[in-house]
Structure 1
Amino acid sequence: MNISPNGINIDEALEALAACTVWYPDYREAMRIITKCINTTRHRKDPSSAMLIGPTGVGKTRLCRMIEKDLGPTQQARNSECDKKTWPCVYIELPESATIRNLSVVMAQVLGGKPTDNQSVVILEDFIIQRLVTIEAKLVILDDFHHVAEKGLTKTKSSLCNWIIKLLNRSGVAFLISGSSSAEETIDLVEELSDRFPYRAKLQPLPMADKASTSVLLGVLASLEKEMIKLGHLKEYAHLTDPTPYKAIYLATRGNFRRLSDLLHDSFEIALLRGDYTLKISDFAEAAADLAFCCCPNYFLMSHSQLNFALKFQTNKSSETAKK
């Protein structure tokens, strides 16, 4: 057990911080859209599927896992005739080298099958469809769909689209496809499939905003700071929403949730190991020194005026990139 000098269970505190989810507006809207897809499918008895689109690190997989949890665990139902397993949400993480066959094998395995090398894609499809119907699935999540969408020729992608259409039409189960913009582009290659995905939610890195009333990032930091104060029983701490820490955090993470999570985890761990009920800017500087995305330059070693200059430079650079 990893205990701090002041008696705090460090592992438990870090795990609790990692599990903390801040429901900022776009995240809440994405959940609403996906819930609507499930309900519409249930009402119409016809799959009306959804997409969750955004760059890496914005929290797509976290949201997918939360949806899986909210829909409920696998349950065993018994009646006079047989035992029946119901499985509300089937989560599939696509492999890096995903082909239609590889994807079929992975889905079959997740659904409890034992596919062999000599089984055809057609046989695997039949098994997948039968299992989705039998377990009364409400949603199938295909996460990291860009692993498929970013590879192959247009003809190959069209074949993938037709494969998904077949699963949707024959199972009657809604799908949630999560991935980068290339995932959406692939789905839109075939009009029939595009129409099957009327619900689309998009997540982006949190933008920089100077005014507290318009900054979602400030709200997220305030919530996470509150959680760290509670978990670490902090008595003295750097206010993450003050102008200098706020700008340093934005420049270090660019509003990317994965980077923000890494930075807060490592900084909080340093503070907990010290065990004096404090969280200092120097903790963030020490953490940033080991993180490739923000070690050079280390924004937590800069003055407020230096941060303003760096922020202005970054803004101009982003504007020039957008014009090209």
Structure 2
Amino acid sequence: MNTPHTIVETTLVPHTAFEEATQRLEQCFSYADGASEPICIALVGESRTGKSRALEECFTRHAPIRQPDGLTTPILRVKTPSKPTVKSLAELMLRALADPRAYSGTENAKTSRLLKLMNESGVKMVMIDEFQHFYDKGSHKVMHHVADWLKVLVDDARVALVVAGLPTCRAVIDQNEQLAGRFLSPVFMPRFDWQDTDQREEFIAILGAFQESMGEAFDLPAFTGDEMAFRFYCATGGLIGYLTKFLRQAVWNAIDAKTTTIDLANLLRAHSEAIWAKDGPTGLPSPFDRRFSTAATDDLLARIKRIGIPAEEIRLPRSKAARQTGALGVQAVLTAR
């Protein structure tokens, strides 16, 4: 039974990309046993397209089970740390398998212990989220040592491997010939495109599903009307993660205000509170502002598709004094030699 404050998070709305992702994951899990080599697959997409939710859905279907002889963990699921190393990733996996000595040991010792625990825990699949951290954007280098270790780990453990991440994670696989040879074709989880009729209809159907679940506790405007649906699209850039994020904020605000009504003004406030400022199109009123034009122009749609895309790193020019200081510092080092 949904409670009002969790009604958005507990509304699972399968759509084409989500269903394909979960189906492919289930297939990999089902055929992991007895495969001649590890089955590997990647979920790739922009932030907030539902990759982690797809992993969670599969993980929940095969959740750990307490048996008389211990805990069975069919799926070992971890999130890649920033700048991963073999020791840090192995430690996360050991902790996920409840190893009391997860923090201790050399790289080889942790790996040996991890393989033993994976076998004892009945692990059939390893899931690694945020796989793009295997690629250092600053140096444009792949963490080859960790990637090689992961390949050997799944080979030795004879388990399936699922990775999920931003599009940059493909470089990790592309630049490792042996790893690439083990991966099936990736599952892409794109944002919804308003200009694609099928995707637009699917996005509107998702709005309808949220309206149905939220409507059990709140009086709402019609989410699926042409104008209102376009406002939702412009507010989220077609990203499901942003949609759930700001609908959740609208629900929280209504609960705190002790009201069961969520109207356009409430959606306007929730959107402004839930979405980071840079992620909205600049120079335009909020999509839930009555002044907002709901004409789907090419210029507007192009700007909306930029929502959620990280801003390019800004490199500020150094001052003349700083440049001179730097030059003097270098000269001093050379002179000292």
- Which TM class, normalised by the smaller chain length? 0.7 to 0.9
Alignment of 1:1-324 (within 5 A): 12-44=3-35, 46-77=37-68, 83-113=69-99, 114-116=101-103, 119-150=105-136, 157-209=143-195, 215-232=201-218, 234=219, 237-274=220-257, 277-291=260-274, 292=276, 293-294=279-280, 297-303=285-291, 306-308=293-295, 311-317=297-303
**Partner Cα separation in structure 2 for residue 15 and residue 316 of structure 1:** 33
**Partner Cα separation in structure 2 for residue 39 and residue 230 of structure 1:** 37
Give the Å deviation of 1:283: 1.2
SS in 2 for 1:308: coil
Is the alpha carbon distance of 1:210 and 1:303 closer, same or farther for their aligned partners in structure 2, counting shifts above 3 Å? farther
Confirm or deny: 8 A CA contact 2:142 2:171 kept in the other structure.
no
Confirm or deny: 8 A CA contact 2:217 2:260 kept in the other structure.
no
Confirm or deny: 8 A CA contact 2:64 2:71 kept in the other structure.
no
SS in 2 for 1:230: coil
Give the Å deviation of 1:303: 4.2
Unaligned runs of 5+ in 2: 307-337
Partner of 1:6: none
Give the Å deviation of 1:212: 7.4
Give the Å deviation of 1:69: 0.7
| Higher relative helix content | 1
**Partner Cα separation in structure 1 for residue 184 and residue 303 of structure 2:** 35
SS in 2 for 1:141: strand
SS in 2 for 1:85: strand
SS in 2 for 1:204: coil
Unaligned runs of 5+ in 1: 1-8, 78-82
**One-letter code aligned to 2:194:** M
**Partner Cα separation in structure 1 for residue 193 and residue 289 of structure 2:** 22
Give the Å deviation of 1:125: 1.1
Give the Å deviation of 1:177: 0.6
Confirm or deny: 8 A CA contact 1:288 1:294 kept in the other structure.
no
**Partner Cα separation in structure 1 for residue 202 and residue 255 of structure 2:** 27
Confirm or deny: 8 A CA contact 2:76 2:123 kept in the other structure.
yes
Give the Å deviation of 1:272: 4.3
**One-letter code aligned to 2:27:** K
**Partner Cα separation in structure 2 for residue 273 and residue 295 of structure 1:** 29
**Partner Cα separation in structure 2 for residue 302 and residue 312 of structure 1:** 21
Confirm or deny: 8 A CA contact 2:192 2:200 kept in the other structure.
no
Is the alpha carbon distance of 1:151 and 1:112 closer, same or farther for their aligned partners in structure 2, counting shifts above 3 Å? farther
How big is the alpha-carbon RMSD for the aligned residues of Structure 1 and Structure 2? 2.8
**Partner Cα separation in structure 2 for residue 31 and residue 127 of structure 1:** 30
SS in 1 for 2:78: strand
**Partner Cα separation in structure 1 for residue 107 and residue 289 of structure 2:** 56
Confirm or deny: 8 A CA contact 2:267 2:288 kept in the other structure.
yes
Partner of 1:5: none
SS in 2 for 1:44: coil
SS in 2 for 1:17: coil
**Partner Cα separation in structure 1 for residue 135 and residue 142 of structure 2:** 10
Confirm or deny: 8 A CA contact 2:44 2:189 kept in the other structure.
yes
Is the alpha carbon distance of 1:214 and 1:266 closer, same or farther for their aligned partners in structure 2, counting shifts above 3 Å? closer
Confirm or deny: 8 A CA contact 1:285 1:301 kept in the other structure.
yes
Give the Å deviation of 1:39: 2.0
SS in 1 for 2:43: strand
Confirm or deny: 8 A CA contact 1:61 1:143 kept in the other structure.
yes
Confirm or deny: 8 A CA contact 1:268 1:283 kept in the other structure.
no
Confirm or deny: 8 A CA contact 1:142 1:178 kept in the other structure.
yes
**Partner Cα separation in structure 2 for residue 213 and residue 128 of structure 1:** 43
Give the Å deviation of 1:73: 2.4
**Partner Cα separation in structure 1 for residue 18 and residue 216 of structure 2:** 24
